[in-house]
């Protein structure tokens, strides 16, 4: 880059000769009101809307670094000034800042890979996690009331316009559908949402995603458990829904901080994850499994993937739901034609009738290792449910796909058991009437070579991405990025109008965020455990049980899980310099 540097130097000196003040663009996102740029010891500039909610202005700057902040002028004549100063250096990019948030972009320590990336997966720039996105929804207020009053109406969706803004740009989707998300969490005061049909006039999607979920994380004052879990799954090279945080506004009203994530059964997600982004020719089968303790039948029913005979009306089979897009036959027929044969194949493997396990064994064991290490109380191994099974017909391959990890790392109940139960006694918490057997897992582990493989996955995890020196600095950095937004979330009124609300006593404040992300002591309010305490303790306990020596520093022989950066600034800057040089050159020729 020496060449580039000296050219830059040349250009800078050239500029200095020509002008002594510089035009600098300032950009800020403001959901309500009109912002004014306030230069310390200098002028104020009223800003203009460029593309709502983005406001910009060019200011003459004589010396760097320049200190400034923004003032928000509301329609009712009131003003609000940011309580902190921002700073811009000469070469800094002009990014879209967010009013009242001091952090715009923060790079995090990356996680060392435990295994190579899943080979059929392409990352989406939507999940560049070095910033918080802003999502602004506009919809008919009466439609919205309708959603809030009919929480249990599964199919209910309303028309909405969605604006997605981040430090680099603003994208608008005029014809999306907004609906509510979550199952057990639907009656919590803070709701979760889904947005579908994210396609603009040119049929372009949101960074290769047409549908997203906005998870409320109402039980997790760190907002980061789903995210951390997903990041470690990325390091394990298994298919995984991605996560990134976003602040949500609906019709001008602040709703809160949410985890953006992928709906697993969405076609776009599936092809980006399992087929390198290439469109599938066929409708692939996909099913979701749940866990239902008392409300579904007179006994608990759950998706253990066990064989309960050929009668498809067995209550244990009622827990699987077809989630694909083929409407030519109903869910029951899909079960009989696609899932029941899978269950029988698993059973044949269990009984020794075949050597072929229909799932990829390595991937399945990696998910299970992570469930154990993260204390995932609400996932397959402990409570068989909360996962999908997907068949890629073009590869003739079934995949187990784990999902939904907010109850982990010391929240979700029975925290002591989830932390302290040895691997040899796992799973610990058995609801009455729920069997211990997990047919595919048990039969995989009954082969001694697989048992060794399982131990080697734990060994690898403890030395790479689950190593406290790898994951905890990343946690610190993510927490620094979202802290102001987390605090803000706790102050907001909740919009649910359910008259049978759950978890109304879970009211978090700043100190809950702080203890969950940084405390190394065992206790947090509501019986929870802080993430750091959980990870440190779990890693020590398992290392002792399996006789693993955790090295002083993590291993990174496979490199790191890369963040899908939205802009590679280095490249953008270089291209810009080349342009400037070319133009200067042409000008020089003309003048000459
Ligand atoms: C800006 O942040 C301060 C401090 O956190 C807070 O008191 C104030 O309400 C915020 N204003 C807006 C418009 O978010
Ligand atoms: C979308 O997917 C295509 C094909 O996989 C890829 O080339 C492109 O970079 C992706 N775009 C974004 C914004 O991630
Ligand atoms: C993202 O940016 C970081 C820091 O600039 C860099 O180390 C990394 O290689 C980039 N990743 C990609 C995928 O471009």
Domain ranges in the chain are 2-102, 277-463
Separation between Cα atoms, residue 180 and residue 165, nearest integer Å? 21
Residue 4: the pLDDT is 57
Pocket-testing residue among 105, 124, 242, 563, ligand 3, by greatest number of atoms within 8 A of Cβ: 563
Distance in angstroms (rounded) separating the CA atoms of residues 456 and 444: 15
Q: How far is the CA of 489 from the centre of ligand 1 (A)?
A: 11
**Measured in angstroms, how far is the CA atom of residue 554 from the centroid of ligand 3?**
20
Please give the pLDDT value at position 397. Answer: 96
pLDDT for 1 equals 41
Ligand 1, CB cutoff 6 Å, lining residues? 80, 83, 100
> Which of 242, 564, 565 maximizes ligand 3 atoms within 8 Å of its Cβ, making it the mutation to test the pocket?
565
pLDDT tens-place string over residues 333-380: 999 999 999 999 999 999 999 999 999 999 999 999 999 999 999 999
From the list 389, 420, 410, 398, the residue with the least C-alpha distance to 542 is 420
What are the two backbone dihedrals, phi and then psi, of residue 171, each rounded to the nearest 5 degrees? Answer: -125, 140
Compute CA distances 481 → 133, 486, 489, 514, whole Å.
11, 10, 14, 13
* pLDDT above 60 for 123: yes
Helix (H, G, I), strand (E, B) or coil at 153: coil
569: pLDDT strictly greater than 80: no
- Say yes or no: CB of residue 567 within 6 Å of ligand 3: no
| Best of 122, 124, 133, 206 for a ligand 2 pocket test (most atoms within 8 Å of beta carbon) | 122
How close is the Cα of 484 to the center of ligand 3, in Å?
25
Q: Are strands 96-98 and 22-29 parallel, antiparallel or unpaired?
A: parallel
Report the distance separating Cα 533 and Cα 535, nearest Å: 6
Q: Which atom of ligand 3 is nearest to the CA of 570?
A: 5
Asked if residue 562 has its Cβ within 6 Å of ligand 3, the reply is yes
CA nearest ligand 3 atom 7, residue: 562
Each as own residue / partner, the long-range contacts of residues 20-24 (CB below 8 Å, 24 or more positions apart, any chain) are 20/62, 21/60, 21/61, 21/62, 22/60, 22/61, 22/62, 22/90, 23/58, 23/59, 23/60, 23/61, 24/58, 24/59, 24/60, 24/61, 24/66, 24/88, 24/94
Mean pLDDT of 442-464: 97
Rounded-to-integer distance, Cα 113 and Cα 232, Å: 9
CA of residue 28 to ligand 3 center, whole Å: 25
Lowest mean pLDDT among 167-176, 202-211, 394-403, 497-506: 497-506
Rounded to 10°, the helix 531-546/468-491 angle is: 150
Kindly report the pTM of this predicted structure: 0.93
For ligand 3, the distance from its centroid to the CA atom of residue 330, given in whole angstroms, is 46
More confident residue, 11 or 516: 516
**Apex 287 CA angle, 283 and 293, nearest 5:** 165
What pLDDT is stored for residue 570 in this prediction?
47
Question: Chain centroid to CA 567: how far?
Answer: 19
Residue with tokens 């999908």: 388
Could you tell me what percentage of the chain is helix, strand and coil, using 3-state DSSP and rounding each to the nearest 5?
35, 20, 45
Q: Name the H helices within 336-426.
A: 340-350, 361-374, 415-420
Alpha-carbon distance of 182 to 191, in angstroms, equals 8
Decide: helix, strand or coil at residue 495. coil
Say if CB 144 and CB 250 are below 8 A apart: yes
Q: Which is it for strands 158-166 and 253-261: parallel, antiparallel or unpaired?
A: unpaired
CATH number of this structure's domain 2-102: 2.60.40.10
Q: Give me the helices (H) in 210-300, please.
A: 225-235, 267-274
State the DSSP code for 338: I
Nearest residue CA, atom 4 of ligand 2?
A: 277
Q: Which is the closest atom of ligand 1 to the Cα of 487?
A: 5
Q: Candidates 255, 486, 488: which one to mutate for ligand 1, based on the most atoms within 8 Å of Cβ? A: 488
Residue 430, pLDDT above cutoff 90: no
Q: So what's the pLDDT on residue 10?
A: 54
Nearest residue (by CA) to ligand 2, atom 11, is 207
Structural contact between residues 232 and 471, judged by C-beta atoms closer than 8 angstroms: yes
| Mean pLDDT estimate for the chain | 93
Residues 6+ apart with CB under 8 A from 156: 146, 147, 150, 179, 180
Please determine, for residue 568, whether its predicted confidence score (pLDDT) is greater than 50. Answer: no
In the reported structure, the alpha carbon of residue 50 is separated from the centroid of ligand 3 by a whole-number distance in angstroms of 29
Average pLDDT over residues 413-432: 93
What is the pLDDT at residue 577? 57
Could you tell me the distance, in angstroms and rounded to a whole number, from the CA of residue 97 to the centre of ligand 2? 25
Ligand minimally distant from the alpha carbon of residue 565: 3
Whole-angstrom Cα distance, residue 592 to residue 582? 15
Dist. CA 112 → ligand 3 center (Å)? 14
Q: Is the CB of 124 under 6 A from ligand 2?
A: yes
Give the Cα separation of 174 and 158 in Å (integer): 12
- Ligand closest to the CA atom of residue 562: 3
Best residue among 126, 127, 204, 277 to mutate for probing ligand 2's pocket (most ligand atoms within 8 Å of CB) is: 277
pLDDT in tens, 378-392: 999 999 999 999 999
Distance 99 CA to ligand 1 centre (A): 9
Q: Which ligand is nearest to the CA of 268?
A: 2
- Average confidence (pLDDT) over 95-120: 98
% of the chain surpassing 90 pLDDT: 85
With H, G, I as helix, E, B as strand and everything else as coil, classify residue 487. helix
CA distance 553 to 469: 7
In the predicted structure, residue 579 carries a pLDDT above the cut 90: no
Which residues does 543 contact at the CB level (< 8 Å), separation at least 6?
462, 549, 550
d(CA 138, CA 159) in angstroms, rounded, equals 9
Q: Of all atoms in ligand 3, which is nearest to the CA of residue 569?
A: 5
* pLDDT of amino acid 548: 98
Query: Does 17 score more than 60 pLDDT?
Result: no
Q: Are strands 291-292 and 286-289 parallel, antiparallel or unpaired?
A: unpaired
CA distances from 298 to 294, 315, 430 (A): 7, 10, 17
């Amino acid at each position: 880059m020496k060449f580039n540097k000296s050219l830059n130097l040349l250009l800078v000196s050239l500029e200095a000769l020509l002008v002594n003040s510089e035009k600098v663009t300032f950009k800020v996102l403001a959901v309500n009101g009109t912002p004014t740029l306030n230069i310390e010891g200098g002028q104020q500039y009223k800003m203009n809307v460029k593309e709502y909610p983005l406001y910009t202005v060019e200011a003459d700057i004589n010396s760097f670094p320049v200190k400034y902040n923004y003032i928000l002028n509301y329609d009712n004549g009131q003003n609000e000034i940011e309580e902190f100063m921002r700073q811009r250096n000469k070469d800094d990019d002009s990014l879209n800042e967010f009013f009242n948030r001091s952090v715009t972009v923060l790079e995090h320590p990356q996680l060392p890979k435990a295994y190579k990336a899943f080979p059929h997966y392409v990352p989406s720039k939507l999940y560049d996690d070095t910033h918080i996105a802003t999502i602004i929804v506009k919809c008919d207020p009466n439609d919205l009331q309708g959603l809030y009053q009919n929480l249990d109406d599964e199919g209910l969706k309303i028309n909405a316009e969605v604006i997605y803004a981040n430090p680099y740009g603003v994208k608008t989707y005029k014809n999306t559908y907004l609906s509510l998300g979550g199952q057990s969490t639907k009656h919590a005061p803070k709701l979760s949402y889904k947005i579908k049909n994210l396609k603009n006039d040119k049929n372009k999607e949101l960074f290769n995603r047409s549908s997203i979920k906005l998870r409320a994380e109402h039980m997790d004052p760190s907002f980061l458990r789903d995210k951390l879990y997903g990041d470690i799954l990325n390091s394990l090279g298994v298919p995984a829904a991605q996560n990134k945080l976003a602040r949500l506004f609906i019709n001008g009203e602040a709703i809160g901080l949410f985890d953006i994530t992928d709906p697993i059964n969405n076609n776009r997600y599936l092809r980006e994850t399992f087929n390198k982004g290439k469109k599938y020719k066929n409708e692939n089968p996909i099913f979701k499994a749940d866990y239902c303790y008392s409300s579904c039948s007179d006994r608990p029913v759950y998706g253990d993937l066990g064989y309960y005979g050929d009668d498809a009306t067995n209550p244990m089979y009622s827990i699987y739901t077809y989630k694909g897009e083929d409407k030519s036959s109903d869910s029951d027929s899909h079960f009989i034609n696609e899932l029941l044969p899978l269950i029988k194949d698993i059973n044949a493997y269990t009984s020794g009738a075949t050597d072929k396990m229909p799932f990829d064994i390595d991937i399945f064991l990696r998910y299970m290792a992570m469930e154990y290490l993260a204390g995932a109380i609400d996932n397959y191994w402990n409570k068989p449910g909360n996962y999908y099974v997907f068949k890629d017909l073009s590869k003739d391959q079934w995949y187990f796909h784990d999902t939904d990890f907010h109850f982990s790392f010391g929240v979700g109940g029975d925290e002591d058991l989830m932390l302290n139960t040895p691997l040899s006694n796992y799973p610990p918490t058995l609801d009455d009437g729920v069997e211990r057997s997990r047919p595919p897992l048990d039969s995989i582990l009954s082969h001694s070579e697989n048992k060794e493989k399982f131990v080697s996955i734990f060994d690898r995890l403890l030395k790479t991405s689950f190593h406290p020196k790898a994951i905890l600095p990343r946690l610190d950095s993510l927490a620094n990025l979202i802290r102001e937004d987390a605090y803000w979330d706790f102050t907001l009124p909740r919009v649910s109008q359910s008259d049978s609300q759950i978890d109304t006593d879970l009211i978090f404040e700043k100190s809950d965020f702080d203890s969950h992300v940084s405390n190394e002591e065992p206790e947090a309010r509501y019986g929870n455990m802080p993430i750091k305490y959980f990870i440190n303790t779990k890693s020590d306990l398992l290392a002792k049980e399996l006789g693993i020596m955790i090295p002083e520093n993590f291993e990174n022989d496979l490199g790191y899980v890369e963040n899908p950066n939205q802009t590679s600034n280095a490249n953008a800057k270089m291209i810009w310099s080349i342009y400037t040089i070319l133009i200067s050159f042409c000008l020089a020729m003309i003048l000459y």
